[in-house]
Structures are given as C-alpha cells and as structure tokens.
Amino acid sequence: MTIHVRAPATTANLGPGFDVAGAALDLWNELEVDEADGTVDEQHLGVRAFAKFAPPERYSFSFTDRIPRERGLGSSAAVVALGLVAGALAAGVDPSADELLAEGIDLEGHADNLAAALAGGVCLTWDGRIARVADDLPASAIAVVPQNRVNTAQARASLPQTVSHADAVFTAGRAALLGAALARGDLSLFAAGANDRLHEPYRAEHAPHLYELRADLPSGALGATLSGSGPTVIVWAARDDAGRVALELRRRYPGHDVLELRVAAAGAGPV
C-alpha cells in the first residue's frame, strides 16, 4: 500500500488576527508512505504526527519540501498535517479537521497555521475548533521571501507580556474590519484591516521590509502584513494588479523570492 498526500503552505495572522486567522496558500509539501521494514527517523516531525494514528516502524517515508523553512509560511504546520492525514489513512480512520487539530497541536504549537493547512481556505481557530469562513480572500497575495530565517519560538519570545490600551483598541478595530472583509469579500475593508500593533511591531526587527513596504507600497498594492512570525511579508493587491505588483517587487528585491500565491481551496489530503 502506498499513501501519497500533500499539504499547503499557510500565512497566519493576516495582520490583526493574531493566533486566530490563517489562510492556506497554493504551495505544497508532499509525503509518500510505503509499507516497509527499515529504519525510521521517529524524531521527524511528520513521522511523530503519523504515529498519532499508526505505528511508523512498519513504513518508509519520503517527504518533498517546497515550502521555505523558517520563513513564516507554515512549513512545520504542513509537515504535521502531512503526517496526521497519512497516519489516519494508514489506520483506516476518518477524523474531522477539529480532531486532527487536537492530535497535532502539541507538535505544531500554532493552531492558526495548522487549522488552515488541514481545512484549506481561510480559517479562524479558537479553543481547539476550526471555522472555515471563506474559500478565498478579497485580495491576491504576493509573498516577499528573504533568505534569512526566523525561529518561531524566538520570535514569540520577543512579544511583550502587556500592551497599551491604545494598541489593543487599534488592533481590535482592525480585527473587526478583517472579519467583516472576510464575511463580505470586501476589498476596501480588507485593505483597511491590514495592520496590527500586538505582534508585528515586535517582530519587525527580523522583517525590515514590512515597514519599508508599508511606507512605499508598489502602485496597485493595498497593504502588507507579516506572514506568521516572518521574515516573509505578504503584499496584498487587487487581482487585476497582482502581476504588476509582483514585477515591481522583483525589481526592488532581486535577492528575494517573490511568489504570487493563490488561496488553496483544499487542505491536506490525498494527491
């Protein structure tokens, strides 16, 4: 028996949706599992996720990684999602996305990324639950991916224990705009909500392009958000302008990968 599954990249937070909002992106990691008697790296994150449902020592694992690691595009969430889905298939069970999230959250640690990787589309997550609220976003995503990496745990450690009332009010307002934009598919509300003061200011040291881009957006761009803990920055544009915005970003940042990424309608599952 061969099991072949894939899982998408993700962009978490979407600005003010800190630890709650995430979207799956059309960039995929894959895993092929075969029955075999051999040596298995049981410390591999994907193998540990597989072991939640089936004994890994009976299988061989071949991972294909396309999502850049430690760049804020959910590479670890994709690996966990691959293992969970493949393990469930090997065990002959069909858990819900919420059940998969519950099994994988101790390995991934970030429910917003893992929820979107499992369910696809645009998701909100809270208290171990996933709500897939939209199949797509009002704007197109252009990822500006630097070569430097950011360790997620270290980035989270840089966040303060408290924030000012003004910053909390600012971000709550932008989060409300984001929610309304997702509910209505409204481009102008989405652009108005693409800002944050809870986490982005404290992570910007490792993602200097965030404020650089906000201060000088390419013509046709609507806003910019930090992808997860960075260093990748997502520049948002109307669909008709996305190609032109991407060309300008490639001109400005020749040493970076600039990726036009659609929202992935599907989450982790068989190829």
Give bridge partners of residue 32 from the DSSP assignment: 4, 62
Identify the pLDDT of residue 205: 85
242/115 Cα distance (integer angstroms): 26
- Residue 220 near residue 237 (C-beta atoms within 8 A): yes
**End-to-end Cα distance, the chain:** 14
Number of domains in the chain: 2
The candidate with the shortest Cα–Cα distance to 122, out of 6, 14, 232, 195, is 14
**122 and 157 fall within a common domain:** no
Tens-place pLDDT, residues 189-219:
999 999 999 999 999 888 889 999 999 999 9
pLDDT for 118 equals 98
Residue 149 lies in a domain: yes
pLDDT interval class at 53 (50, 70, 90): very high
Distances (CA, A) of 57 to 31, 164, 205: 16, 51, 43
Amino acid at 261: L
| Three-state secondary-structure class, residue 134 | strand
Are 130 and 7 part of one and the same domain?
Answer: yes
Angle at 168 between CA 158 and CA 220, to 5 degrees: 85
Looking at the predicted structure, is the pLDDT value of residue 161 above 80? yes
- What is the model's pLDDT at position 152? 77
Q: How far apart are CA 232 and CA 100, in angstroms?
A: 27
pTM: 0.94
Residue 10 shares a structural domain with residue 129? yes
Contact 115, 206 (CB under 8 A): no
- pLDDT over 80 (residue 153): no
- We report the CATH number of the domain holding residue 68 as 3.30.230.10
Same domain, 99 and 120: yes
- Using one digit for the tens of pLDDT, what is the confidence trace for 233-270? 999 999 999 999 999 999 999 999 999 999 999 999 99
Residues 160 and 104 both lie in one domain: no
Let me know if residue 7 belongs to a domain.
yes
| Per-residue confidence (pLDDT) for residue 93, from 0 to 100 | 97
Residue 132 binned pLDDT confidence (cut-offs 50, 70, 90): very high
**Residue finishing a domain among 90, 115, 134:** 134
Q: Which residue range is the domain that position 236 belongs to?
A: 140-261
Q: Which residue has the tokens 């298995």?
A: 40
Q: In this structure, what are the phi and psi dihedrals at residue 168, rounded to the nearest 5 degrees?
A: -65, -45
pLDDT at 158: 83
Question: 267 in a domain, yes or no?
Answer: no
Domain end position, chosen among 110, 134, 158? 134
Q: Where are the alpha helices (DSSP H) in the chain?
A: 45-50, 75-91, 97-108, 111-119, 152-157, 165-184, 187-192, 200-203, 209-215, 242-252
Q: Please choose, from the candidates 80, 27, 91, the residue with its C-alpha nearest in 3D space to the C-alpha of residue 58.
A: 91
Q: Is 7 in the same domain as 129?
A: yes
Q: 269 in a domain, yes or no?
A: no
Angle between helices 97-108 and 111-119 (to 10 degrees): 140
pLDDT band at residue 154 under the 50/70/90 scheme: confident
102 and 125 belong to one structural domain: yes
If you average pLDDT over residues 158-166, what whole number do you get? 92
Domain end marker among 118, 134, 150: 134
Q: Is residue 14 part of a domain?
A: yes
Check whether residue 106 and residue 181 sit in a common domain. no
Radius of gyration of the chain measured on its C-alpha atoms: 18
Backbone angles phi, psi at 3, to 5 degrees: -115, 130
- Is 118 a member of any domain? yes
Verify that 8 and 119 share a domain, yes or no: yes
Do 121 and 173 lie in one domain? The reply is no
Task: Tell me, yes or no, whether 17 and 89 share the same domain.
Answer: yes
- In Å, what is the CA distance from 127 to each residue of 74, 99, 157, 208, 253? 20, 12, 22, 33, 39
Residue 250 sits in a domain whose CATH number is: 3.30.70.890
Residues 180 and 245 in one domain: yes
